[in-house]
Amino acid sequence: MIVIAGPCVIENRDVVFEVAEVILRLQERFKEHKFIFKASFDKANRSSIHSFRGPGLEKGLEILAEVKSKFSLPVLTDIHESWQAEPAGKVVDFIQIPAFLCRQTDLLIAAAKTGKPVNVKKGQFMAPWDMGNVVEKLKESGASEIMLTERGTTFGYNNLVVDFRSIPIMKSFGVPVIFDATHSVQKPGGLGKASGGDREFVPYLSRAAVAVGVDGLFFETHPFPEKALSDGPNMIPLKQFPDLIEELLQLEDFLNGKHGKG
């Protein structure tokens, strides 16, 4: 199981390092699984022009480089413009394409050319079978490692719903599929000038994804979600995160016939 986790956006070193420390402890405890630290240097699609976006490319990559050095964790970040791919690829281990940009051909080509594994979030507006074209774009541009992430589908206004059929459909493209448990409970723009969310449903959807056979899980977590500068309503409180991960990995072990080993 792949577990991608971290704060939504790089707020400061203290928050980033506090979350990375918890993820490192989980990696040391669950050695057979792969933990990846995630944080964004810029959130270019915020609801309001006044919303916090992050420290920017240069400062953000500097902090992510510190995470790699201090905690020895692989690092993932997202890019929004093609020119960001090359500098980001020199620092991080995984490049991520945001859901709203998953069809942007030039962005996909730039990500593939970094030589780094690329994780693409399925657009809220996309059918899962249409993600096959995304995989084709990346492969023909030289990407050797590709992941696709399910993060819910637009359902009316300011709401998302998860169609779990998308997981086996996207796995049929021969790539690992990740389930984004926290963005799937988001309510985009639901607070007017910010997105809302229902974090209480994260454990339920996560368990469902594991049962369906997902290859990995994606979470945003924060020491104090109520004070987070981005995506607070759908993030998992950091103190609750280890127990949730333990439960989900035990379920994954059980479903794979490993229940006699724990």
Residue range 110-168, pLDDT digits in tens: 999 999 999 999 999 999 999 999 999 999 999 989 999 999 999 999 899 999 999 99
pLDDT at 99: 96
The confidence score (pLDDT) of residue 192 equals 75
Q: How many CA atoms lie within 13 A of 179 on its CB side?
A: 28
Tokens of 206: 């996560």
pTM of the complete model: 0.94
Q: What's the pLDDT at 48?
A: 86
Q: Coil, helix or strand for 60?
A: helix
Q: What's 100's DSSP letter?
A: G
Q: How many CB atoms lie within 10 A of CB 105?
A: 12
The answer on pLDDT for 262 being more than 60 is no
- The string of pLDDT tens digits covering residues 160-171 is 999 999 999 999
The model's pLDDT over 199-235, given as tens digits with 9 standing for 90+, comes to: 999 999 999 999 999 999 999 999 999 999 988 889 9
Sequence-distant (6+) residues with CB within 8 A of 214 are 150, 167, 177, 178, 179
Q: Helix axis angle, 105-113 relative to 131-140, nearest 10°?
A: 40
pLDDT > 90 in the chain, percent: 87
Domains of the chain with CATH codes: 2-261 (3.20.20.70)
Residue 259 binned pLDDT confidence (cut-offs 50, 70, 90): low
Flag whether pLDDT at 261 surpasses 60. no
C-beta atoms surrounding 125 within 10 Å = 12
How is residue 258 annotated by DSSP? -
Q: Cβ contacts of residue 222 below 8 Å, gap of 6+?
A: 7, 8, 15, 19, 228, 232, 235, 236, 237, 238
Local structure of 151: helix, strand or coil = coil
